[in-house]
A and B are shown apart, each in its own frame.
Chain A
Amino acid sequence: MTPAAKADAAGQATPAPARFDAIVVGGGPAGLSAAYTLAAGGASVVVIERGDWPGSKNVMGGLVFSQPTSQVVPDFWKEAPLERPVTRREMWLTTGDSVLKAAYESTDFGAEPYNSFSVFRSRFDKWLAAQASAKGAVIITETLVEDLLWDGGKVIGVRTGRPDGDLEADVVILAEGVNPFLAEKAGMSQGVKAEAIAVAVKEVLALPKEKLEDRFSLGTDTGAAFEVVGEITGGIPGTGFIYTNRDTISIGVGVILKDMVDRAGAAYSLLERFKAQPQVRRLIDGAGRREYAAHLIPEGGYRSMPSLYGDGVLVAGDAAGMVNAVFSEGANLALLSGKMAAETVLQARGSGDYSRRTLGRYGDLVGRSIIMKDLKTFEGMTSLFSSHKHFFSLYPQLASAAVKEMLTVDSLTKADKMHLITKLARSQMPTRRLIKDLWDGWRAFS
């Protein structure tokens, strides 16, 4: 069977034309958003995905954000396989035995057009592929793209791992995710740097629906999301996360790869440590493990971005380093960049000119969009966390000790307590250093 006849996510065999207007490598949010937009715009497009179905290789915490997603598929929440709308977000600062919490809750987030949903990528991406396929995109699965085809300096197609598996097109969109093998081969990406990448491990834990709702104080149509920093990552820059699904909990940690390796650390050990935190253990008690997963997150932001375009080729999503590390948002930027890549191709199609100059419009679109603005804003964060490791150990300890002191009722006056807290902070960290940290942190954010 030819790969094209093997065909699409909806299951029908679509006879493939000999060549396509566009080939998309990778069936994640970036690639599928590009394919959806291209097909809807009347272009012939094929998505090549290495997994058995789009999503079968993909992992996220994670939350799909409503606004950017509905820019690609309007009213997606009516059909898409979603777990829970997130109506409460909590930030936890942990020490070994205590948690300092900040929470935001909104009933608004639980009604149309919503803000975000917890999802499983294996299901969500499959659904998104079916939407693109309904618009006319061809989805080829179980096929690894191994190389690009070149004519001089111009990309003219791809070589897949199948016999007679060459495919040609006017343009190739690389949406291959965080390990950009092809963009590296093409000299567009320098690869990801260990200090600018997080390794994340995650487990899906099952709990009966009523029990879950009871434990997390949720209704049937509300959900909670937790970002956790502090001692759980053992002083390695990183965060933990917990998301509620219908009748499962997604729990995981992500830490900067370089710092983890420097200490010969292991991500799964940190996850065990996180799960053993007393306040976390209570939430997941008795919940059985359904899946374990590992994935990388490109967190270098603006500075680690590759070339976004060349002759006959565009790069989108994680492959282009488009992740807002601070809020772990990436799927939204992937969706948006895929759409912009597609719009650029649709315009180039009018003139039949797919040169670097014409495709440069994609760079302009991305540059003017929220993608670049966000990436620039948070550009310094990753390196900041890496060079200020005490953000992840000492500060949570100090903050927690301060609150504990204030809340403990004993014979000291509150003024005495304030004095004690300041003394404690000073003994741990010279004042000059504290001020410098505040300054660095403020600069990274502004």
Chain B
Amino acid sequence: MNDRLPYDDRDWTPPKHDVTAQLGVVKFKPDDTAHLEIKDEQVCRERCRRKFCTHSCPAQVYRWEEEEKSISIAFEGCLECGTCRNGGCPYDNITMRYPRGGFGVQYRFG
């Protein structure tokens, strides 16, 4: 995975853009079980200040919930790109699988 962690001594700021409108035109067939998982919530809470996944995920699946002090996962809107398993979380703290066959994003153009 990553040999070198990015500069991480700044606090989390929310993403500048919201992708709700973008996701609104995408067709999804959501499954009822999640295909994404945080491995260790303590790492998000205590080690990762910047909460990189909240920016790197193109679908804004990951959100930092300030009150709960944890990352919430809106897996229904996942575009199945794999960013979060390939360095999108520099702490390699996300397990990403593909959804079950026949579920998930369904591109009409692609």
Binding site for B on A (CB under 8 A): 50-52, 55-60, 120-123, 125, 141-144, 160-162, 178-179, 181, 191-195, 197, 199, 201, 203-204, 248, 250, 257-258, 260-269, 272, 289-296
Contacts and interface: CB of A to CB of B under 8 A. Distances in A.
A30 to B, nearest CB: 16
Given A142-B101, A264-B50, A268-B19, A293 B83 contact: no
A161 B101 contact: yes
A296 B81 contact: yes
A241 B80 CA distance: 21
Interface string B84-110: 011110100000011111101111111
B87 A258 contact: yes
B109 A57 contact: no
Interface stretch (B39-47, B52-60, B64-72): B52-60
Given A160-B101, A269-B17, A291-B108, A264 B82 contact: no
Contacts of B86: 179, 191-194, 197, 257, 296
Contact of B107 (A194, A197, A250, A293): A293
B109 A204 contact: yes
B25 A58 contact: no
Given A262-B6, A264-B50, A294-B58, A56 B106 contact: yes
B88 A181 contact: no
Nearest to B97: A181
Contacts of B98: 50, 144, 179, 181
A261 B88 contact: yes
24 contacts: A50-B98, A56-B106, A57-B107, A59-B110, A60-B110, A120-B109, A122-B110, A123-B109, A160-B101, A179-B82, A179-B85, A179-B98, A194-B2, A194-B86, A194-B90, A248-B109, A261-B56, A261-B90, A263-B6, A264-B55, A291-B25, A291-B109, A294-B58, A294-B81
Contacts of A143: 101-102
B34 interface: no
B5 to A, nearest CB: 9
Contacts of B58: 199, 201, 266-268, 294
Contacts, number: 157
> Max chain A CB contacts within 10 Å: which of B6, B26, B104, B109?
B109
Given A179-B82, A266-B16, A295-B79, 10 more contacts: A57-B105, A57-B106, A179-B98, A194-B1, A194-B88, A264-B52, A272-B17, A291-B108, A292-B25, A293-B107
A122 B87 contact: no
A304 B87 CA distance: 16
Given A50-B98, A296-B86, A55 B81 contact: no
A121 B55 contact: no
A196 B55 CA distance: 19
* In the complex, the 7 A-B pairs of residues with the closest C-beta atoms, listed nearest first: A194-B87, A142-B102, A294-B58, A292-B22, A122-B110, A121-B110, A179-B82
B38 interface: no
Contacts of A290: 25, 108-109
Nearest to B7: A262
A267 B81 CA distance: 12
B52 A199 contact: no
B83 to A, nearest CB: 5
Contact of A257 (B19, B83, B100): B83
A336 B99 CA distance: 29
B98 to A, nearest CB: 6
Interface string B1-40: 1100011001000011101011101100100000000000
Nearest to A266: B55
B110 A55 contact: yes
B105 to A, nearest CB: 7
